[in-house]
Structure 1
């Protein structure tokens, strides 16, 4: 019985890690960071051959996702500070 619960827990945490890394960071944060990177780099970054959705694991994808995460955290922080 313990091995069944252990395997269920492993599956749950793998699904959670997939959601956090792939869906949230790879899609949501990238979609928020893509226009920020375009504006801050005057249209040069990310390169023109890279689509809006992060499909590769290039450095540009990670930087755009990181920029999106920073924007998201800034908006959450601002919202929490204004409402208190």
Structure 2
């Protein structure tokens, strides 16, 4: 009985982590990185005109999300350093 509950808990937490990562990295970081990518590439990338992540997992979406993660981490670091 303990192993069944343990496996259910593992599955629940894996699903929870997946949802959090999908929301934070896929949505929030993309929306933060989209204008950065547009500025750095002079409007060329990402090729879509709308600031929403595409359903296809292409490299442009990942790079925009990565740029957003860098912006997010830089902002958090700045806030933490200024308040100390």
The interval holding the TM-score normalised by the smaller chain is: 0.7 to 0.9
Number of equivalenced pairs:
83
Q: CA deviation at 1:35?
A: 0.8
Identify the residue that residue 53 of structure 1 maps to in structure 2.
52
Deviation at 1:69, TM superposition (A): 0.2
- Name the SS for the 1:47 alignment partner: coil
Q: Could you list the runs of 4 or more consecutive aligned residues of structure 1 that deviate by over 3 angstroms after TM superposition? A: none
1:52 Cα offset (Å) = 2.1
RMSD: 1.5
Q: TM-score, normalised by structure 1?
A: 0.86
Q: Is there any run of 5+ residues in structure 1 with no aligned partner, and where?
A: none
- For 1:16, the equivalent position in structure 2 comes to 16
Q: Extract unaligned runs of 5+ from structure 2.
A: none
Q: Distance in 1 between matches of 2:59 and 2:83?
A: 36
